[in-house]
Every structure is written in C-alpha cells, then in structure tokens.
Structure 1
Amino acid sequence: MRILVIQHVAIEDLGLLGAAFQQRGFEVDIRLMEDPQVFLSPSVKPYGALVILGGPMGAYEEDRYPYLFQVERLIREAYHAGLPTLGVCLGGQLIARAFGAWVGPSMVKEIGWYRIRLTEEGKSSPLFAGLPDDFFVFQWHGDTFALPKGAVLLASGDSCRNQAFVYGERIFALQFHLEVTEAMVALWSEVYREELLRFGGAAFPERLREETKRRFEEDRDIRRRFLENLCWVIAGGSRGCGLLSGK
C-alpha cells in the first residue's frame, strides 16, 4: 500500500507513525513542502491513503503558502475517491477548511499534555477502539477548527473543545499529536523555545520534559493501541471495529 504524506516542515515528521507504517509494509511517499524543490502530486489516484502532518503555519495562510490550496483540493479528492485520510494538528485544520469549516485562533493556546475525552461516537469509532474513555495527548497549537457540516465529533477537551472528528467514514482530523516521540518533543522545545518560554515561563521546558518522560512510561499501551487502530483505518478498515484484536 502506498501512502502520500504531506510534511510541511522537517522537524514535524511522521514520528511513531513512520515506524508503524514501515512495520506493516506500507510504502510512504513523503513530500517535504519546505523544500523548494518539492512539489505535490497533482492527484491522489496513485495512492491508497493520504496523511497530512502538522506545521507552524496557519491553515488559512494560503497567501503565504499557496500550496495549501492544493492540499485542500487533494483532501476533497481523497474524500470523493473513498481514500482513508488522516490530518494531524495543522493537517486536521486543513481538513476542516477543505470542507468549508472555520479555522482560526483558539481562545486558549495548548502546549504540553492535556486530557481529552471520547464522545459516544468516538467510543464506537475504529480509530479509538479499545482506548480508555479519556486519556492524555500531546498538544502544541494556537489555532483550532470548527466542525464541517456533517462531520461527527469524536473527542473533546476542556481548554479546546474540538479535538477529533470524522468526515464521512474515512476522513479523520486530529487536533492533537499521538505520533510524537520523546526526541520530537525535545527538538520542538529547542527550535520553538521562545514560544515555549512565552507560554509557560522559564521553568516550563523542564516541567514539559519530565511530564513527557512520565507520559511515555505510563501510556505505552495507549500509544500502541492507537497506532494499531490507525494503521487498520489507513489500510481501509470500515466501521466494523470488531475485526480489530483487543489484545
């Protein structure tokens, strides 16, 4: 199976998803859009799935990043073709925008580990099969999305309500990051250090490092299960999540 991966910047890569895809034999075609030599595929037809990762730009900044218009067009094409699609953070916001929903600054910025809760629809979604009703996820965003008309909310949070939705049966948008590794969090903390200090003060980077270490130790099974679910969905699984092993 071949997956088109739209990666906006080098430091926000597939992370845990890369290893999971490789383990399952998926072929990934990564388009790193900050490289001026890279161009997007004109169509999703050669692919079996589409993944759009996060990035520091706004989904509404098409004037500065004209390729975002094409990303939105590819998302709509994937929907009409029935291709499984995942958007993470900026990717999720681009999915919302592709289907006519508002995307803009959130009332509350989120950086760090936050608890989210599955909705009733989320509990029955194959993407979250076998996961607790609430769990911690990594966040780093100042924008949020409204739900496109017809979308179904799958997860919500206290600081930022809309955390995950599905559009149709195969287009999944996440506001949070479950693909990050400890090394990615450390790298983002260094590259985006000024933003981190403005958000939480001088002591926040160390607190974030300690909490990240604890979450990776305590939530290992949650990450493993989520990655299993995601690979199953990306491979074309339907709503019949009973096919997925609970072990």
Structure 2
Amino acid sequence: MHIHYFQHEAFEGLGCIQNWIDANQYTVSSTHFYKQESLPDIDSFDLLIIMGGAMNIYDHEKHPWLVAEKLFIKQAIEKGKRVLGICLGAQLIADVLGAKVKRNRYKEIGWYPIQFSERAHKETFLARLPKKMYVFHWHGDTFEIPQDAVTLASSQGCENQGFLYQNKVMGLQFHLEVTTQSFKEMTAEMDDELKEQSPFIQNFNSMKAGAVNIPTCNAFMFSVLTQLSA
C-alpha cells in the first residue's frame, strides 16, 4: 500500500501515523503546501491523509493552494480513494462534499471527552468504538455533516467531531495522531491561543497532564487506519 499525505504546517506532521506506516512497511510520499510542493498523480496512492493546520479552509487569498487542494480531494473521493482528514483536513473534506464549514461557538483546545454516536457503532466498521474517550483538540472552526455521511462523534464544546462517508472517507476534528513530540511543537507554535477566553481552552499545565491519554489515542488511531485501509 502507498500512502500520500498533505501537510500544511511544519509543526503538524503525521505524528504516530508514521509509526503505523513503518510497522506495516507501507510506502509514503507527501505534499508540503507551505513549501509550495506539487500535487501527486491521482493514481499514485491508495490512501490520502490530510493533516491539520492553523489556516481556515476559506483563506484562499493568503493560501491560494487551497483551491487546488480542494479540487484534488474532490477528485480523489470521486475516484473511490480512501481518504482521512484530521482537523483542517476534515473541514476540507466536508467542504468538498458540500457541507458548510464555519466558526464554532467556542474554540476547543486541550483534552476533552468525545462521545461516539449510536450510528457509528451500528452502521460503520467501527463497531468496537468506546462510548467515550478523551482526545486532543485544537480548533476554532467546525463542519456540518455531509449529506449521506454517518456522524461519528460529538463533544460538549463542538457538536460535530467526525463523520464517515461511503465507508471510505473519514473526517476527524480531533487529533488521535498526537505524540509527545507533536504536542510540544503545537503548544510551542500556537501558545498565544491559550490566552484567549473560552470555556473549552485548557491552561498549559492541564494540557500537559492530559498527555497521559496519548497512548490510548495512538492505539485507536492505528485501529482506525487499519480498518479504513482494509
């Protein structure tokens, strides 16, 4: 299997996904948009992974490559590719599937629980989902659920936390891929956001304490990747 991933920021890489790729001896390639790199051949990969980023999906003037990226994601879905989007990546998928992406009522930053939906348990390959788990969040926008997609999860601070479309395309608002290293990089690069007012922004010490959830999140990320790519 060959995986291609889109990276939008130097500090938001694959995280533990790289460990899953290495363990399965899959091949991998990438497009780093902040380096102005080119898009791949649409037939060159089996799984497309779209990472997060501090920009918004509608920042076309500041980041003109967003237009080409959205078109490519749309083409990949239409060709039946398996696609996983994380945070910004999930919002981009929702957008190309015709769902609205907008500002969430609150920014959600830190370790907060998500609840998985009954439909996620009954109608998807994720039948062994836990009812609730603590995951890492860092977002200000949210998406509506695309038509014909299954809602996967929600949280107190954000109603729509994930969706699955045609059992091949998944969007996750939260960061299961986070590692100790990527946690340090994200908090170092975007620590000014921790000063903003929101009932769903943790202080740094609380976020650091919540890092005990990283192994559970990574194990779940491996399970999701294995099932999505099966």
| TM-score, with structure 2 as normaliser | 0.92
Alignment check: 8 A CA contact 2:9 2:53 kept: yes
Provide the rounded CA distance (Å) in 2 between the counterparts of 1:57 and 1:221: 28
Provide the rounded CA distance (Å) in 2 between the counterparts of 1:16 and 1:184: 9
How many residue pairs match? The answer is: 227
- Give the aligned residue type for 2:203: F
Match of 1:224 in 2: 219
Match of 2:160 in 1: 162
Unaligned runs of 5+ in 1: 238-247
Alignment of 1:63-212 (within 5 A): 63-124=61-122, 125-126=124-125, 128-199=126-197, 204-212=203-211
Alignment check: 8 A CA contact 2:17 2:221 kept: no
Provide the rounded CA distance (Å) in 2 between the counterparts of 1:131 and 1:152: 14
**Cα shift at 1:222:** 5.2
Match of 1:21 in 2: 21
For residue 99 of structure 2, give the secondary structure of its aligned residue in structure 1: coil
1:12 aligns with 2:7: no
Alignment check: 8 A CA contact 1:131 1:226 kept: no
For residue 162 of structure 1, give the secondary structure of its aligned residue in structure 2: coil
- Give the aligned residue type for 2:10: A
Alignment check: 8 A CA contact 1:130 1:225 kept: no
For residue 228 of structure 2, give the secondary structure of its aligned residue in structure 1: helix
Match of 1:233 in 2: 228
**Cα shift at 1:69:** 1.6
Provide the rounded CA distance (Å) in 1 between the counterparts of 2:142 and 2:217: 24
Alignment check: 8 A CA contact 1:12 1:54 kept: yes
For residue 146 of structure 2, give the secondary structure of its aligned residue in structure 1: coil
- Give the aligned residue type for 1:132: P
Poorly superposed stretches of 4+, deviation over 6 Å: none
Provide the rounded CA distance (Å) in 2 between the counterparts of 1:178 and 1:56: 17
- Give the aligned residue type for 1:232: Q
Alignment check: 8 A CA contact 1:14 1:179 kept: yes
What CA deviation, in whole Å up to 9, does each residue of 1:103-161 have, x standing for no partner?
121001100011111111212422x3433111111000000011122222111111101
For residue 222 of structure 2, give the secondary structure of its aligned residue in structure 1: helix
Provide the rounded CA distance (Å) in 2 between the counterparts of 1:25 and 1:232: 16
Provide the rounded CA distance (Å) in 1 between the counterparts of 2:66 and 2:165: 19
- Give the aligned residue type for 2:94: A
- Give the aligned residue type for 1:86: L
Alignment check: 8 A CA contact 1:165 1:173 kept: yes
From the superposition, tell whether residues 195 and 146 of structure 1 become closer, same or farther in structure 2 (CA, over 3 Å): same
| TM-score, with structure 1 as normaliser | 0.86
Provide the rounded CA distance (Å) in 2 between the counterparts of 1:96 and 1:221: 26
- CA RMSD of the aligned region, Å? 1.8
Alignment check: 8 A CA contact 1:103 1:143 kept: yes
